[in-house]
Structure 1
Amino acid sequence: MLRWLKSHVMPSGTRERRILLGPAAGLRMDLDPARELRFWLGVYEAELAKHFRRMVQPSMRCFDIGGAEGYHALFLARLSEMPVVVFEPGEEWTEKICSTLARNGLQGKVEPLFIGAQENGNVTTIDAMAEKHFVPDFIKMDIEGAEVEALAGAEETLAVRRPHMIVEIHGYEVERRCLDILERHGYEPQIVNPRKWLKEHRPIANNRWLVCAGRDPNTA
């Protein structure tokens, strides 16, 4: 269905467009619907929309780890009504994220860094960034297989704050090790599988999400 829409109905060419549906509905990004149809429609990773809306509340402080084109940063800043800190080492994305937030009247900061288990060069940790910026109430993570290392570098944050999290998992062993860390810190992760009716290209086996309800920031 999406393929037919792309070839018969959708406009083409990259320009500023309003996102049509989902938690980012009405916000603006530079998009080419022929290549970025899910973003334009607002159905990219639609499986997670209800979880973002439930977890991210006004005044919550958010980390977006693996910011890519800035789609998630947009609605994290909107839902929280607070500046979001985005971690994205890709040079092609950092300027786009900043400009996209600004044109929508939203605030945020991009750290062009990888997130890992220890600080080293252009690699930092969640704990170090919590000390630099703020202890996050919510973390979204999509870092292509480095989830275990990122969680290992968040021991203090997980122990003291236990933020809400949505973690994209890349592989069976990664999932097992992430679950071990999360359960040790008191989480009871909900596994969310990709929907079959709205498939996205996912070349890695067992590429799904862990939705982790943490501690209410009002009681932390």
Structure 2
Amino acid sequence: MNRPHPETLDETMAKCERLRRPLSRELDQGKRFVVGGRHGDWVTAAERVKDIGGEVAAFHDSRKKTRGGKKNGIDVLRGKLPRRFAGLPYLFAGEPSKQWFSPAPSFVESCIWDVEPREAHQRGKAMPRLLQQHRERVERVFQHLADGPSRLQFASIVKARVEGDTSFHRISRYAEYDHPIVRPTQGDVAIDVGAFRGETTVRFARSVGARGRVYSLEPEPSNHARLCAATSDLFNVAPIAFGAWDDTRVLSFQGGRGGASRLSSEGEIRVPVTSIDRLVRRYRIPRVDLIKLDVEGAEKRVLEGARQTIRRHRPKLQVSIYHHKPDLFELPELLIDWLPGYRFYLGHHSYYHVETDIYAVPVEKWARGYLARSSRRWALRLLGRSPERGTSTS
């Protein structure tokens, strides 16, 4: 078991409060702002700015397929902000929407937020009672996280779900399923469960190289067809038209929801599913180095069907923990109980309430991942790029 950290969950949540930039703290007399976010909240935010003597320099529409113009006599900018506006404080009005706004983490955290918490409570994103009822379990997960960024992000998620305010979120500096230590490396054999249309599979295939292999499971027919098309020139990928479960059967599947398509009793199509343990036997997979799970709420059932594989091969794990509210603490706690000798990390990859993942690595593979991360950072520095995102530092 990990040693308890000197900082408690409550203390780290208080840090999230200090790091957040609410409008009430930032509205200084005479300050100029760029206002973005929900169109319907622009005017209200502008009125609040005006009431305290501030000025709205422009509205910003980050969507690509929109036109500029004016709104209430104020310029509407679209796309990338012009240089003359880039240095101004950015006020995000309203509740963030995952579908149309995906900025870099550093930008999200630099925003000033004008969020209405009641809306989040009404839409069911907040869960203060559930977190209070299971406070000891939530604290236990926090104490098992292996580094400061993981604990800060976990605390920020708890704070956001207690308050119903997504502006508390602290966001990972690495892409989802690309944790600096818990990621596929050269020669690995990876299983991508919930491959969707292949974006993560393609990235994994490039990481494992010619000596590695990626088995990608996607049961929805149209998504599977696009997965096959995306990986048609990758000889180290095996697309499999199965879903994952804790045994082998045929289940109903609700398609037509993009990445949120899922196994459901209300599903209009029938798809075959199997367990990871049976898959490994059927395809005679000699070893498993990494398993990634993003299966829209079926993660616990899939893990149950992978127990033999996990026990035998001790793979690195990447597991989504946001599809059901209790997943935030129940799935990490399940892995903590199952996996002695593992280190656990947490990543949050959206300012929204989604894209939260637990990353687990056995201690005997941790050093290899740490050295790979260190080598990568040095290589990026030699190229003049940021170790966090591979972006230019100039």
Q: Report the TM-score when normalising by structure 2.
A: 0.41
Counterpart of 1:25 in structure 2 is: none
Match of 2:243 among 101, 105, 114: 114
Structure 2 residue 145 is matched with structure 1 residue 145 = no
Structure with max Cα Rg:
2
CA contact (8 A) 2:317 2:360 kept: yes
Equivalent position SS for 1:212:
strand
CA contact (8 A) 1:47 1:192 kept: no
Alpha-carbon distance between aligned partners in 2 of 1:218 and 1:188, rounded to the nearest angstrom:
11
CA contact (8 A) 1:53 1:79 kept: no
Cα deviation, residue 150, structure 1: 0.5
Gaps of 5+ in 1: 11-34, 39-44
Alpha-carbon distance between aligned partners in 2 of 1:75 and 1:2, rounded to the nearest angstrom:
30
Structure 2 residue 309 is matched with structure 1 residue 160 = no
Which region of structure 1 is more displaced relative to structure 2, 175-184 or 112-121? 175-184
Deviations 1:175-196 (A, max 9, x none): 4332233112223422222343
Alpha-carbon distance between aligned partners in 2 of 1:117 and 1:70, rounded to the nearest angstrom:
23
Cα deviation, residue 100, structure 1: 1.2
CA contact (8 A) 1:61 1:136 kept: yes
Alpha-carbon distance between aligned partners in 1 of 2:239 and 2:301, rounded to the nearest angstrom:
20
Structure 2 residue 224 is matched with structure 1 residue 75 = no
Alpha-carbon distance between aligned partners in 2 of 1:52 and 1:93, rounded to the nearest angstrom:
28
Residues 176 and 4 of structure 1, relative CA distance in 2, 3 Å threshold: closer
Deviations 1:78-130 (A, max 9, x none): 10013311110010111211221124x44312221121112223121111112
Residues 36 and 86 of structure 1, relative CA distance in 2, 3 Å threshold: farther
Q: Which amino acid aligns with 2:228?
A: C
Counterpart of 1:92 in structure 2 is: 222
Which region of structure 1 is more displaced relative to structure 2, 187-196 or 157-166? 187-196
Counterpart of 1:181 in structure 2 is: 334
Alpha-carbon distance between aligned partners in 2 of 1:168 and 1:180, rounded to the nearest angstrom:
13
CA contact (8 A) 2:192 2:217 kept: yes
Cα deviation, residue 171, structure 1: 2.3
Alpha-carbon distance between aligned partners in 2 of 1:217 and 1:132, rounded to the nearest angstrom:
29
CA contact (8 A) 2:189 2:288 kept: yes
Q: Which amino acid aligns with 2:238?
A: K
Q: Report the TM-score when normalising by structure 1.
A: 0.70
Structure 2 residue 186 is matched with structure 1 residue 58 = yes
Alpha-carbon distance between aligned partners in 1 of 2:189 and 2:61, rounded to the nearest angstrom:
35
Residues 161 and 2 of structure 1, relative CA distance in 2, 3 Å threshold: farther
**RMSD, aligned α-carbons:** 3.1
Residues 53 and 182 of structure 1, relative CA distance in 2, 3 Å threshold: closer
CA contact (8 A) 2:318 2:359 kept: yes
Equivalent position SS for 2:296:
coil
Q: Which amino acid aligns with 1:210?
A: I
Which region of structure 1 is more displaced relative to structure 2, 49-58 or 184-193? 49-58
Gaps of 5+ in 2: 1-59, 68-77, 80-98, 103-171, 251-271, 369-394
Percentage of matched positions with identical amino acids: 19
Equivalent position SS for 1:157:
helix
Match of 1:3 among 62, 69, 72: 62
Deviations 1:119-162 (A, max 9, x none): 22312111111222313201111000000001011111111111
Question: How many pairs align?
Answer: 181
Counterpart of 1:30 in structure 2 is: none
If each structure's helix is expressed as a fraction of its own residues, which one has the higher value?
A: 2
Cα deviation, residue 218, structure 1: 11
Alpha-carbon distance between aligned partners in 1 of 2:100 and 2:226, rounded to the nearest angstrom:
15
Alpha-carbon distance between aligned partners in 1 of 2:245 and 2:231, rounded to the nearest angstrom:
26
Cα deviation, residue 36, structure 1: 9.4
Counterpart of 1:191 in structure 2 is: 346
